[in-house]
Structure 1
Amino acid sequence: MDSDTASRAVGRTRARARPRRTELAAFLRSRRERITPEDVGMPPGIRRRTPGLRREEVAQLAGIGVTWYTWLEQGRPINASPQVLDAVARTLRLDATEREHLYHLAEVPDATVGGESECLPEDLQGIVDALVPLPAAVANGRCDVLAWNAAYAAVFPHVVAAPPGERNFLLISFTLPPCCNPIANLEETAAGNVAVFRHRYSRHLGEPGWKNLVRRLQDASPEFARLWASHDVATPGPSVRVFRHHAAGHIRTRTTVMDVGSSPETRLIVYTPSDERSRERIDRLLADPGAAALDHRH
């Protein structure tokens, strides 16, 4: 490899790393600013120009150099060891999900995972269909809905009627108007949804599909933009979701998320009715496809 070719290769590598470093810098600042001196047993002092701890205080508590930590938070291209990242994570009181997020952003090798895939296992659609009358769908890390059963189609007609490129549950939940938005308790669930999405996003920094989706959501939804700016991260878990259907009313469910082992970042989502009335409403929609269909489009 000649010197010009090597220089171009180095330049491409740095360009790919830049979005990840920018995200790392913003994440560290957001975590530092949420911790007060009192939280770590330090005197509050006076005339603090920024909320939370100062950079030099984080460095002191973590036992690392102030200059090194400053460069890390500024997104400079420096290498971080697992031991140093662990010290920073402990000082900033990161939970397990946030710590993993930090490792991904810092590009530590043992924290990387596989990417998403839309090539679904051959038998997966049959498994999803067998779950009827429970609504179930398969989605990728970006929240694109890839497969679903009849019960899911009955409860979420706006999702399945969308063109393939628009069949994204996060986009639909943050952009559809109230008259046809399927999420009845969005105020309760929005923060968690965005935090889970950001956790996955750290594996795909710089990828056009992910960047374009975030840009669309920020432009279309001030609420998404506000939550995205918080830099919170989380992993998916069981939750209570309340959906609305124009013909059936509110449907309360418990959500179970299971990874599809043969397809990295692909997951099976199952909605179990949490009360008898919700179960009956799903059964009624399944029995009457006309009632389950869209009542209008935007």
Structure 2
Amino acid sequence: MDRAELAAVLRTARSRVTPADVGLPSGTRRQVPGLRREEVAQLAGLGVDYVVRLEQGRGPKPSAQVLGALARALRLSDDDRDMLFRLAGTPPPRDGRVPMPVRSSVLRLLDRMSDLPALVLSAKSDVLAWNPLAAALLGDFSAWPPERRNLIRQRFLGPTPDPESPSAADCVASLRSAHARYPADPDLTRLVAELRAGSAAFDRHWRAGRSGRLRSGTVTVEHARLGPLTLDCDILLVPEADQFVLVYSAAPGTRTASALELLRVTGLAHVTH
């Protein structure tokens, strides 16, 4: 493990990422370029002191799970992620696992979608990236522990589960398809086991043996301050990365369209779940 070089890479990567890049409010008293250490820790689900020690070259050897979380929080490319792993003395992720890094071109696409909530999902429905409007609509994803930033897990095991919705079966079918493509992925295997043990509805859908994919459609989001919002949810495939971009919209002139405009103007700091 090259602690000094690992520390330098982490500091440099943090300086390149802005709060807007990861769907966080910028605030008015920012004194450092890029993200604060507290924000990196929040996005990666780590303690602030742990991140400080890593950046100062005096931290313990990070696990592969921690390295993966840091790579996602810092928006590292595949090559930079692999370098991070090697500097920590850990082999980079092998083929056969669900791809987690988000392509830089997809991140630019999110940045351009300032008028529509949008987020990026992995093949197993992990929330990998989002724009500020998605956070204002659906909640501050950075506040969720990384292992819980998964829409299927939230649907069946979250604080407000919705296991009997019409799209629940499609969600389970898409996860079964991902499991068939990545049978050796330990995180995916762990997720399926947790869902089957914790949700009778999920287990029932899983035993039905259906495979499938996420589908575009109409969804209703219960916003704490704005009430029920009915939106169109279109799903765009990123085939090279086996990822999905979810884009939410509403027809002009509707109450939901007005609510989205309010969220865009007020932002995450004022109107959240």
What's the TM-score, normalizing by structure 1? 0.54
Q: Distance in 2 between matches of 1:157 and 1:247?
A: 12
What letter matches 2:211 in structure 1?
V
Q: Which residue among 193, 197, 217 is the counterpart of 1:239?
A: 217
Q: Which residue among 101, 105, 113 is the counterpart of 1:123?
A: 105
Classify 1:260/1:114 alpha carbon distance in 2 versus 1 (closer, same or farther; 3 Å): farther
Classify 1:118/1:136 alpha carbon distance in 2 versus 1 (closer, same or farther; 3 Å): same
What letter matches 2:153 in structure 1?
L
**Higher helix fraction: Structure 1 or Structure 2?**
1
Calculate percent identity across the aligned residue pairs.
24
The correspondence of residues 165-184 of structure 1 with structure 2, limited to 5 A, is 165-178=147-160
Aligned residues of 2:136 and 2:271 also touching (Cα < 8 A): yes
Q: What residue is the counterpart of 1:26 in the other structure?
A: none
Structure 2 unmatched ranges of 5 or more:
1-94
Classify 1:147/1:127 alpha carbon distance in 2 versus 1 (closer, same or farther; 3 Å): same
**Structure 1 residues 103-162: Cα deviation after superposition (integer angstroms, max 9, x where no partner):** xxxxxxxxxx98632222223222112112211111110111111111110111154421
1:147 aligns with 2:129: yes
What letter matches 2:127 in structure 1?
V
Q: Which residue among 183, 199, 223 is the counterpart of 2:201?
A: 223
Q: Distance in 2 between matches of 1:160 and 1:187?
A: 26
Deviation of residue 261 (structure 1)? 3.8
Q: What residue is the counterpart of 2:185 in the other structure?
A: 207
The correspondence of residues 1-298 of structure 1 with structure 2, limited to 5 A, is 116-157=98-139, 159-178=141-160, 187-263=165-241, 265-274=242-251, 276-288=254-266, 289-294=268-273
Tell me how many residue pairs correspond in the alignment.
177
Tell me the SS of whatever aligns to 1:137.
strand
What letter matches 2:246 in structure 1?
I
Q: Distance in 2 between matches of 1:260 and 1:196?
A: 15
Deviation of residue 200 (structure 1)? 1.7
What's the TM-score, normalizing by structure 2? 0.59
Aligned residues of 2:177 and 2:213 also touching (Cα < 8 A): yes
Tell me the SS of whatever aligns to 2:104.
coil
Aligned residues of 1:218 and 1:225 also touching (Cα < 8 A): yes
Deviation of residue 214 (structure 1)? 0.7
Tell me the SS of whatever aligns to 1:209.
helix
Aligned residues of 2:110 and 2:130 also touching (Cα < 8 A): yes
Structure exhibiting the larger radius of gyration computed from Cα positions: 1
What letter matches 1:205 in structure 2?
P
